[in-house]
Amino acid sequence: MADLEGNSAAKQFHPDVPAASFTHAIRGASNLDWGMQNRLARILDPQTGRTVMLAFDHGYFQGPTSGLERIDLNIAPLAAQADALMCTRGALRTSIPPATQAGLVLRASGGPSILKDLSDEYTAMAMQDAVRVNADAVAVQVFVGGVHESRSIRNLTTLVDEGYAAGIPVLGVTAVGKELVRDARYLGLATRIIAELGAQLVKTYYCDEGFEDVVAGCPVPVIMAGGKKLPELDALTMASRAVRAGAAGVDMGRNIFQSANPAAMMTAVRAVVHDDLDPAEAFELFRSASETTVSA
Ligand code: 5RP
């Protein structure tokens, strides 16, 4: 019970000042509940509306990946440079310090390993566990055009419904089968389906032609997937083109942790995403940060 003594009567109501209304920088989020918007704001930097998400959930289907042999050694030191981390609950609980301040996107689908058909996934985590570890979103693979397309959509919608109940957003990830073409037509189809079925965030690959239409046609933020390891300048160029075409940032794994200097690459990617630095300048940043790290 507040101490009543010295309690002064309220009198400053500023009747000439309209009530606060929060224009929303996050596409498609203005009608979401406060908790959902708060969690999205822990993933997408409110200043830029973009994210540098560090993906290291690869183990959920391919076991130990080059550069992820020891997540506690390879990844934990990079967490401070990431706006958000994308990982499995197993990697989180065993290898990431609970004091980590980055946003958290938990891998919530799984099933086949790389030895089988990757589209044969199910949901792989209860939403209650995402709540338990303070996740800011859960991630689910969606195999539009894949053998188990409908089941992957069902995985998505199950998590979306559970996410609404818990106030946790869902990141739908377009999984492009080997037989499918990563062009604007396919990516536009897949990202729109994911958004229409309720995901609050979409992750998809970049395409040289028409990516701006893929982004514009998707009513929620599109985050560019890093994909296979490229030379650093190529990865920075791809990230720059993607954000300049409207992507709400990047979710990179191999292009960070398989880089010659992951910390320097995080610095360079952040400069491209949040400061709109040209790729060539960001690459120079990468090189000088690499030299600094080596000499340290
Ligand atoms: C597959 C995934 C992976 O789990 C991972 O996130 C991919 O990261 P990257 O391609 O940047 O190494 O989402 O679609």
- Closest C-alpha residue for ligand 1 atom 14: 175
Cβ 225 under 6 angstroms from ligand 1? yes
pLDDT for residue 179 is more than 90: no
Cβ 146 under 6 angstroms from ligand 1? no
* Per-residue CA distances from 138 to 59, 80, 107, 159 (Å): 16, 20, 6, 8
Q: What is the dihedral of CA 48, 224, 147, 150, to 10 degrees?
A: 10
Average pLDDT over the chain reads 95
Cβ 254 under 6 angstroms from ligand 1? yes
Shortest CA distance to 289 belongs to which of 204, 100, 270, 216? 270
Cβ 226 under 6 angstroms from ligand 1? yes
Cβ 252 under 6 angstroms from ligand 1? yes
What is the secondary structure of 3-45 as a DSSP string?
--TTPPPP----TTSPPP----SSTT-TTS-HHHHHHHHTTSB
The answer to whether residue 44 sits within a structural domain is: no
Per residue in 197-207, pLDDT tens? Answer: 999 999 999 99
The answer to whether residue 281 sits within a structural domain is: no
Q: What is the position in ligand 1's atom list of the atom closest to the CA of 174? A: 14
Cβ 55 under 6 angstroms from ligand 1? yes
Look-up of token digits 């993933």: 43
The answer to whether residue 283 sits within a structural domain is: no
Per residue in 51-108, pLDDT tens? Answer: 999 999 999 999 999 999 999 999 999 999 999 999 999 999 999 999 999 999 999 9
Q: What is the position in ligand 1's atom list of the atom closest to the CA of 58? A: 4
The tokens for 217 are: 């046609």
Give the active site residue among 178, 203, 228, 229: 203
- Predicted local distance difference test score (pLDDT) of residue 118: 92
Burial class (CB in 10 A: 0-12, 13-18, 19+), 149: middle
| Apex 186 CA angle, 201 and 50, nearest 5 | 30
- Predicted local distance difference test score (pLDDT) of residue 22: 75
Burial class (CB in 10 A: 0-12, 13-18, 19+), 83: buried
Total tally of structural domains belonging to the chain:
1
pLDDT for residue 176 is more than 90: no
Q: 178 catalytic, yes or no?
A: no
Cβ 40 under 6 angstroms from ligand 1? no
- Predicted local distance difference test score (pLDDT) of residue 20: 86
Quote the domain boundaries for residue 79.
49-260
The answer to whether residue 65 sits within a structural domain is: yes
Which CATH number characterizes residue 141's domain?
Answer: 3.20.20.70
Tell me if residue 290 falls in helix, strand or coil. Answer: helix
Per residue in 161-172, pLDDT tens? Answer: 999 999 999 999
Report residue 178's pLDDT band, with 50, 70 and 90 as the boundaries. Answer: confident
The answer to whether residue 288 sits within a structural domain is: no
Shortest CA distance to 49 belongs to which of 195, 277, 253, 246? 246
Distance 217 CA to ligand 1 centre (A): 23
The answer to whether residue 189 sits within a structural domain is: yes
The answer to whether residue 194 sits within a structural domain is: yes
Q: What is the position in ligand 1's atom list of the atom closest to the CA of 254? A: 12
Q: Identify the helix (H) or strand (E) that includes residue 106.
A: strand 103-107
pLDDT for residue 21 is more than 90: no
Distance 134 CA to ligand 1 centre (A): 22
- Predicted local distance difference test score (pLDDT) of residue 41: 97
Report residue 124's pLDDT band, with 50, 70 and 90 as the boundaries. Answer: very high
Measured in degrees and rounded to the nearest 5, phi and psi for residue 89 equal -70, -25
The answer to whether residue 23 sits within a structural domain is: no
Look up residue 70 and give its amino acid: R
DSSP 8-class letter at 19: P
- Predicted local distance difference test score (pLDDT) of residue 24: 66
For a pocket test of ligand 1, which of 251, 257, 259 has the largest count of ligand atoms closer than 8 A to its C-beta?
A: 251
pLDDT for residue 295 is more than 60: no
Distance 233 CA to ligand 1 centre (A): 19
Give the chain's largest Cα–Cα span: 74
- Closest C-alpha residue for ligand 1 atom 4: 58
